[in-house]
Structure 1
Amino acid sequence: MDIRFVTAGGGDVVAVMASEGGELLDAGKALDSASGGRIAKATKAVNFKGGPGQVVDVLAPDGVDFARVLVIGVGKADAADGMAVERWAGHAVKRTLTSGAEKLVLQPDALPSVSKAEAGSHAAMGARLASYRFDTYRTKLKPEQQPTLTTVEISIDGPAAARARAEKDEAIVEGVFFARDLVSEPPNVLYPESFAERLRDLETIGIEVNVLDHTAMERLGMGALLGVAQGSVRPGRLVTMSWKGSSSKKSKPVALVGKGVTFDTGGISIKPAGGMDEMKGDMGGAAAVAGTMKAIALRKAKANVVGVVALVENMPGPNAQRPGDIVTTMSGQTIEVLNTDAEGRLILADAVWYAQDKFDPSAVIDLATLTGAVIVALGNEHAGMFSNDEDLAQAIISAATAEGEPVWRLPLGAAYDKLIDTPNADMKNIAGKPVAGSIIGAQFIKRFVKDGTPWAHLDIAGTAWKSGPYDDPLSPAWATGYGVRLLNRLIANRYED
C-alpha cells in the first residue's frame, strides 16, 4: 500500500477526527462547513459520542468532493496520544480496505499532546499496520474479500517532518510484518530448519547469521534443548543474528533471546486436542526477536544487538523425552523433566546461557509464549514481565507503554525458587502443583542468568496471538507481532549511541 504525504488530498474516502461528545475537530469542521452542516447532522442522528474507534460513515454529502466521509472518534482529546491517532487511522483503513475504494485520505488533527507532524507520522504507522493480511494460502477469495485500497494520502500542512519520521517507522512495520508472517505460517511449512533458512535472508540487510545444527549443539552440551528436539523427525536449530551498528564495535551487545517451538504437542505430556492447532504460534518469542532484528537493521540502529533463537518441534515421537528424564544443560546444571509440556523453559535454559557465554552481553531479554498461567492472570492485554534489574525493568515498562505493547511486572523470590528444587537433580522443570505457573517459569530461566547480568523475561503467551473476535484495528485476528515495537523502542531509548 502506497503512503503519501500531501498538503491537500483527494480520493474516494476521507477520514476525520472527533473527540468525546461527538465534537468534530478542525478538519472535520471544515468538511462539515463545506457540506452545509450535513456531517454534524449525520453524527447526531446516530447518537455518535466520539468514543475511541466509534465510526460514522457519511455517504456522498453535498458540497464535499468525497464519496464517503468517515468520522472516527479518538475519545477525550486531552488523553489522546500517538497510539490513539494510530488506532484512528487503523479504523479508517479497516473500513475501506476491501470496500471498493482505491484511495483513502486521512486528515489528522493536532491534539494537546500530539503535534501535527507527530499526528501525521502516527497516522502513517496506523495505516500501514492495519493493512496487514496473511492471504498466502487463500486461493478462492471472492472479489468482495480482496483488498482494493492501494493508496493512503495523509493530508497535513507542512508534511516534510511527518514524512521523515514515517520513513523511519516503515522499518519497524517491516519488522512487525515479518514477525506476524512467521507466527502465521503453518507448521508443515515453518519448522526449525526452514525457520533458520528464512533468518539467513537477513544477511542481505547487514545482519550476521549463524546456524548451529544438532552436532554443534551436542558438542556444546545443550542437553536441555536437544532433549526437547529429540521427539521430532525435524532436528532442532539454534540461530544467532548479530547487528553491529554502534560506533564502538567493542561495545557489549544487548542480547534478545526467543523461544521458537514451531509446533508444540506437549510431547509425551500431550495437550488436549481442542485448540492444539494454535500451537503453531509457540514460536512467537523467536518471531519477535527476528522481527526486531530486521527492524533495527533496516533503520540502521546505532547499537550492537544480538538475537538468539532456539528452534525445536515438540513431538511425542518414539524417541521423545520422557517425564522423569534428567538432562544436563550447557551450563552444567541438571534438570529433572517432570512434564514435557514445560519445554519452552528447557530450550531457553541453553539459549540464554549460550547468549551470555558467546557474546558477554550488557543485558539479556528473553521473550517466550511460555505459560497459559500468564493468560489466566493478565488475559490478552499485557505480557508478564520479570526482571532482576530495576533500571532495565523500568526501561521496558516505559518502552512498552509508549508503543502500545503493555507489560505488567510480576514478582520473583526465594520462596518461588524453592518450588523447583528436587532431590534428583539441580532443579525440576515444574513446581508439581498448580500455583504461580508463570512465576515458576521465570524462576527457572533465572537460574541460567549469570550473576551480575541484567535480565528480563517477557511471557507473551497472551499477546503474541489473539484468536477469536478481536477489535484492535492495528492487528489482525491472529498474529500480532507483539514485542517488535517494544524491543525496538527499548534499544532506541537505552542502547543506541
Structure 2
Amino acid sequence: MKILFAASASGDAVAAPVYADRKLSDAAKALDSATSGAVTRAIDASRFKGGAGDLLEIAAPAGVDATRIVLFGLGDQSKLDGNGAEKAVAGVIKSVLTSGPKAVSVHLDGDADQLCRGALGATLASYRFDTYRTKLAEDKKPSVASVEMVSSHAAAAEKLWAEWAPVAEGVTLARDLVNETPNALYPESYAEKVKELSKLGLEIEVLGEAEMEKLGMHALLGVGQGSVRESKMVVMKWNGGKSGDKPISFIGKGVTFDSGGISLKPGQGMDEMKGDMGGSAAVVGLMAALAGRKAKANVIGVIGLVENMPDGNAQRPGDIVKSMSGQTIEIHNTDAEGRLVLGDVLWYTQERFDPKFMINLATLTGAILIALGHEHAGVFSNDDDLVAKLEKAGKASDETVWRLPIGPEYDRQIDTPNADMKNVGEGRMAGSITAAQFLKRHVNEKPWIHIDIAGTGMHAGSKDPRQPTFGTGYGVRLLDRLVRDNFEG
C-alpha cells in the first residue's frame, strides 16, 4: 500500500477526526458544511461520541466527490499522542480495507511526527498474509491501494516519513517471517532470506554446523540434531556509527518449527509453533529498519536458527551437552530448547564482538502468557538503567514491557547434581524466571536484557486495529525506538 502526504484530500473515501463530546475538527466542520449538515445529522442519529476508537461511516454523501466519509474519534484532544494517532488511523483503514475504496484521504491534526505515526498505523493495519490463498473472493481482497495523510504539515511529514517507512517495512518483514510456513522457512532458507538484506548495506555472515561445531556450540547443535535441516547462525552488521565505537547487539531465538522434540508437544495448536522464531524475526526486522533509515549506530544482530524435531538422532532427556561457554547442561525436557540456542548465541556474541550490551528476544515460555497475557512482554535483566530505557521506549512505541525478578533463589532451581545446570526449573513454578536464570549464566557481567515475547509475538485475537492475525512483528518498533532515542549520534 502506498503512503502519500498532501495539503488537500483527493481520495474516493475521506476520513476526518472528531474529538470527545462530539467536537468536530476543522476538517469535519468543512465536510459538514459541504454536505449541508450531513455530518452533524449522522452524529446526532448515532451513538458516536468522538471517543478514541469510535467510527461512523456516511455512504454516498451529497456535496462532495468522495463516495464515503469516515468519522473517527480521537478522544481528548489535549491527550492525543503518537500511539493514539496510530490506533485511530489504523482503525479507519481496517474498517474500509476490503469495502471498495481504492484511495483513502485521512485528515489528521498535529505536527509532522504525528502525521507519520498515523501513516505508520495505516501501514500496520493494511498488513495481510494472503500468500497461499488461491480462491479468495474478490470482495474479500483489499481494495485500498493508497492512503493520503492530509495536513498543512504534509511537506514536512513527507520528508520525515523517510525515517519511518523503513520501520513499517521492518515490521512487515518480521510478520512475513513469522507467518511463513515451516516447509518454506527452515534454517537454510531463512538464512538465504536474510542474506538478501545485504542490498540495504548490512554485512551478512552465515555459519553452518561445521563452524559451530568448531566453536563448541553443542547446546544449539543438540536442539537441531533430530532434524534433517542443517542448523545455522546468522550475523548481521550495521556500521552506521563512529568507527571504533563498540556496537550494541540484539540476539534472536530462531526455532523455525518446534515440535518439542522427544518431549513432544500436544497436537492441538502445534501448527502455531512455526512462529517459535518470532524473536529472530524481530531482530531481522529491526536490522532492516535500522539499515533502511541509516541509523547512526553500530549494531550487531545475531540469530540462531534450528528446527526441533523428534527422530532417531534427536536429543534425549537425560543427555548432557557442553555449551560454548564450557558449562555443561543436563537436558530434562527437549521442549525447553530455546534457552539452549540462546545460551550459545549470547556467549558467541559477547566473546566475538564485546558489545556495550546484549538484548535477546524469544518466544521462550508459555509461563509468560500466564503471567502477562498478550498485553506486555516479560523483561529480565542485570542492568537497571538499560531496563529503564527499554520501558520508556515501550511506552513511546506502544510495545510495552513488564519487568520480572531474577535472583539466587530462582537460580538454584536450575542446579543439578549431574552437570553445571539443567535446562528447566522445578516443575511449573516460576517457569519464565528460571528460563531467564539459565540465560543469565551465559552473559557474565555484560549488561543484558531478556525479552520473552511468547505472548506478544504471536496473537490471533487482538482488538488493536494495528495488529494482524498471528504474527505481530512485536519488537521492531520497540527496539528501533530504543536505538533512536538513546544510542545514535
Matched residue type, 2:42: A
Matched residue type, 1:397: E
Q: Distance in 2 between matches of 1:122 and 1:487?
A: 16
Q: Distance in 1 between matches of 2:44 and 2:317?
A: 64
The answer to whether the aligner puts 1:5 opposite 2:30 as a matched pair is: no
Match of 1:41 in 2: 41
5+ residue gaps, structure 2, are: none
The answer to whether the aligner puts 1:149 opposite 2:141 as a matched pair is: no
Equivalent of 1:445, from 436, 439, 446? Answer: 439
Equivalent of 1:466, from 444, 447, 459? Answer: 459
Matched residue type, 2:113: E
For residues 225-240 of structure 1, the aligned pairs below 5 Å read 225-240=220-235
Equivalent of 1:258, from 227, 230, 252? Answer: 252
Match of 1:493 in 2: 485
Q: Distance in 2 between matches of 1:239 and 1:153?
A: 38
Deviation at 1:204, TM superposition (A): 1.4
Matched residue type, 2:118: A
Secondary structure, counterpart of 1:21 in structure 2 = helix
Q: Which has the larger displacement, 19-28 or 255-264?
A: 19-28
Q: Distance in 2 between matches of 1:228 and 1:337?
A: 10
Q: Distance in 2 between matches of 1:158 and 1:402?
A: 22
Matched residue type, 2:165: E
Q: Distance in 1 between matches of 2:15 and 2:73?
A: 10
Matched residue type, 2:257: F
Q: Distance in 1 between matches of 2:109 and 2:201?
A: 38
Match of 1:113 in 2: none
5+ residue gaps, structure 1, are: 111-115
Secondary structure, counterpart of 1:300 in structure 2 = coil
Q: Distance in 1 between matches of 2:218 and 2:415?
A: 19
For residues 85-124 of structure 1, the aligned pairs below 5 Å read 85-110=85-110, 116-124=111-119
The answer to whether the aligner puts 1:480 opposite 2:472 as a matched pair is: yes
Contact 1:39 1:61 in 2 (8 A): no
Secondary structure, counterpart of 1:238 in structure 2 = strand
Contact 1:122 1:166 in 2 (8 A): no
Residues 440-490 of structure 1: CA deviation (Å, up to 9, x unaligned): 111110010122x110000000011112x3322112111111000111111
Match of 2:218 in 1: 223
Contact 2:6 2:155 in 1 (8 A): no
Q: Distance in 1 between matches of 2:15 and 2:99?
A: 14
Match of 2:68 in 1: 68
Secondary structure, counterpart of 1:419 in structure 2 = helix
Deviation at 1:55, TM superposition (A): 0.8
Deviation at 1:355, TM superposition (A): 0.4
Q: Distance in 2 between matches of 1:31 and 1:323?
A: 68
Deviation at 1:201, TM superposition (A): 0.7
Residues 40-75 of structure 1: CA deviation (Å, up to 9, x unaligned): 221221211222222111112232332111111122
Q: Distance in 2 between matches of 1:212 and 1:355?
A: 13
Deviation at 1:155, TM superposition (A): 1.3
Q: Distance in 2 between matches of 1:461 and 1:162?
A: 35
For residues 6-405 of structure 1, the aligned pairs below 5 Å read 6-110=6-110, 116-246=111-241, 248-405=242-399
Q: Distance in 2 between matches of 1:127 and 1:296?
A: 21
Q: Distance in 1 between matches of 2:318 and 2:47?
A: 63
| TM-score normalised over the length of structure 2 | 0.98
Q: Distance in 2 between matches of 1:166 and 1:130?
A: 17
Residues 332-353 of structure 1: CA deviation (Å, up to 9, x unaligned): 0011110111000010000000
Residues 122-145 of structure 1: CA deviation (Å, up to 9, x unaligned): 221111221211111111111101
Q: Distance in 1 between matches of 2:440 and 2:340?
A: 12
Q: Distance in 1 between matches of 2:277 and 2:71?
A: 39
Deviation at 1:82, TM superposition (A): 0.8
Q: Distance in 1 between matches of 2:316 and 2:263?
A: 8
Match of 1:432 in 2: 426
What is the alpha-carbon root mean square deviation over aligned residues? Answer: 1.2
Q: Distance in 2 between matches of 1:3 and 1:230?
A: 46
Residues 320-369 of structure 1: CA deviation (Å, up to 9, x unaligned): 11111111000000111101110000100000000001111000000000
Deviation at 1:243, TM superposition (A): 0.7
Residues 282-319 of structure 1: CA deviation (Å, up to 9, x unaligned): 00000000000000001111110000100000111111
Q: Distance in 2 between matches of 1:105 and 1:277?
A: 39
Q: Distance in 2 between matches of 1:48 and 1:93?
A: 18
Secondary structure, counterpart of 2:375 in structure 1 = coil
Secondary structure, counterpart of 2:339 in structure 1 = helix
Matched residue type, 1:478: F
Q: Distance in 2 between matches of 1:494 and 1:81?
A: 20
Q: Distance in 1 between matches of 2:477 and 2:390?
A: 11
Contact 2:103 2:144 in 1 (8 A): yes
Q: Distance in 2 between matches of 1:61 and 1:238?
A: 57
| TM-score normalised over the length of structure 1 | 0.96
Secondary structure, counterpart of 1:186 in structure 2 = coil
Matched residue type, 2:458: W
Contact 1:292 1:484 in 2 (8 A): yes
Q: Distance in 1 between matches of 2:338 and 2:62?
A: 60
Deviation at 1:11, TM superposition (A): 2.1
Q: Distance in 1 between matches of 2:125 and 2:336?
A: 34
Q: Which has the larger displacement, 438-447 or 145-154?
A: 145-154
Match of 2:447 in 1: 454
Equivalent pairs, count: 489
Secondary structure, counterpart of 1:211 in structure 2 = strand
Secondary structure, counterpart of 1:8 in structure 2 = coil
Q: Distance in 1 between matches of 2:249 and 2:181?
A: 28
Deviation at 1:9, TM superposition (A): 1.5
